[in-house]
Amino acid sequence: MTSTGASVVATSAFLVLFPLPLISLPSHVPVGALFDSADSQMELAFRSAINRVNDERRYLKNSPLNGTIYRVLPGDSFKASKLTCEMLAGGVAAIFGPQSDTTSAHVQSICDTMTIPHIELRWDYREKRDQHSINLFPHPSKLGK
């Protein structure tokens, strides 16, 4: 996925994710991201999406998004779980990533348990999504058409 395409997808995710009553929002909305160690394109897209949403004041007038990025090695589910718990303790509204199947499954499980949105940007062949997961990658059946 190109940087521009990923930025558009990430921005769309923010707009879908935050149709919350604006009156009840805090002074800032923390959003976490877990990216694989060498995933600079996704990090750039995430930062760009945060900036675009914050620059467009009509969406979150007095509550800018505050994005925090963590890096994790692909397959290091222990560190991914630990960082997810740290982000949840810090009050994140949603978590993006990671890309690895193993680490993403652990993050998704924690987010489902804690009822926090988990936004994935990776190919996932499973038909059914968990309750609090959003995958912005096209479904495999749609790619085959």
Q: What is the pLDDT of residues 70-106, one digit of tens each?
A: 999 988 999 999 999 999 999 999 999 888 888 888 8
pLDDT of residue 132: 47
Name beta bridge partners: 114.
Answer: none
Query: How confident is residue 2, by pLDDT bands cut at 50, 70 and 90?
Result: low
Q: What is the rounded CA–CA span in Å between residue 120 and residue 118?
A: 6
Output the CA torsion 124→125→127→128 (10° steps). -30
Residue 48 three-state SS: helix
Q: What is the rounded CA–CA span in Å between residue 103 and residue 74?
A: 7
Mean pLDDT value of segment 53-66:
84
**Lowest mean pLDDT segment, chosen from 36-50, 57-71, 130-144:** 130-144
CA angle 23, 20, 66 (to 5 degrees): 85
pLDDT of residue 15: 59
**DSSP codes joined into one string, 50-82:** HHHHHH-TTTSTT--EEEEEEEE-TT-HHHHHH
The H or E element spanning position 33 is: strand 29-36
Q: What is the pTM of this model?
A: 0.70
What domains lie within the chain, and their CATH numbers? 3-14+28-143 (3.40.50.2300)
Higher pLDDT, 2 or 29: 29
